[in-house]
Amino acid sequence: MATTPMAFFRGTAPTALTTIYTVPDAGIGIVTNIVASNPGGTVGSVTVKLDGVDLLPAISLAAKGVLTLEVNQPLTAAKAIQVQGSGSACTLHVSGVEVV
């Protein structure tokens, strides 16, 4: 099996809940790091779901705020990562490894 470091998502969090990554067949995706930032001047929030379960449930981010989360959360084949943002234009960096 090959292990590949992955940037599952990097960018402005979409305002609608959006699937950003789905684990390939016979693979495993492991989320290891999430960084959320709010470069705006007003409060914003971010949501991150793993397989439909909230990992970050609409977490508030202060203006110019940053949140870092170190985790080791595996997802099996066909499971997905979903993200959403609201308020200011919050950004997300979701990274980890893919094993296939």
Gap between the Cα atoms of 38 and 45, Å rounded: 8
Look at residue 1 and tell me whether its pLDDT is greater than 80: no
The pTM assigned to this predicted structure is: 0.94
At CA 31, angle to CA 74 and CA 63, rounded to 5? 145
Longest dimension (CA), the chain: 45
14: tokens are: 């979409």
Q: Which residues sit opposite 4 in a β-bridge?
A: 98
Q: What is the pLDDT of residues 31-81, one digit of tens each?
A: 999 999 999 999 999 999 999 999 999 999 999 999 999 999 999 999 999
